Amino acid sequence: MPDCSENYEKEISDGKNARNIKCKYCNSVILTPSTAAFTSFEFQLPLIRQSKINEQNPETENVSLFWAVTDMFTFQNVGFSNTVGNNKYLTCADCEAGPIGYHDLSNKMSYVALSRVIHS
């Protein structure tokens, strides 16, 4: 699913998330309102479902809209994957769907892709 910035405008208030950020699949609350900052940059995020397993070279898509979280304990519920390169991938804590984003070990920032979660 492509990112579409227009759709997300109402989700941003004062640069932060206006509403709860939840898992698309099971509705588990990932972040509560006003706890993550909107940010935009390009990142190749692995697809949730891979057509074949290839850990070194997963199929990815270009994602550019993120919620940035500075302290990992800001998350309400989240899973951190084992380390891959310099990152850990983020998952839903309940149904383990993911990656919904990634955690950068070098600067300790976590980024949740807007397109991989729901806002409600």
Using alpha carbons, list the distances in angstroms from residue 109 to 58, 59, 70, 76, 92.
Answer: 22, 23, 5, 16, 17
Nearer residue to another protein within complex by CB, 2 or 73:
73
Under rule CB under 8 A, residue 72 binds another protein: yes
Residues 32-61 that bind another protein (CB under 8 A): 32, 35, 46-50, 53, 55, 58
Q: Is 101 in the site for another protein (CB under 8 A)?
A: no
Residue 58 token pair:
């997963």
Residue whose C-alpha is closest to residue 78's, from 1, 8, 118, 21: 21
Quick one: which of 91, 85, 119, 79 has its CA closest to 104? 85
Nearer to another protein, 6 or 14 (CB): 14
CA angle, residues 116, 33, 118, in degrees to nearest 5: 20
> What's the one-letter identity of residue 25?
Y
Query: According to CB under 8 A, which one of 88, 102, 114, 119 is a site residue for another protein?
Result: 88
Ranges within 13-32 binding another protein (CB under 8 A): 32
Minimum distance from residue 117 beta carbon to another protein (Å): 15
Residues within the interface to another protein (CB under 8 A) = 32, 35, 46-50, 53, 55, 58, 70-84, 88-89, 91, 93-99
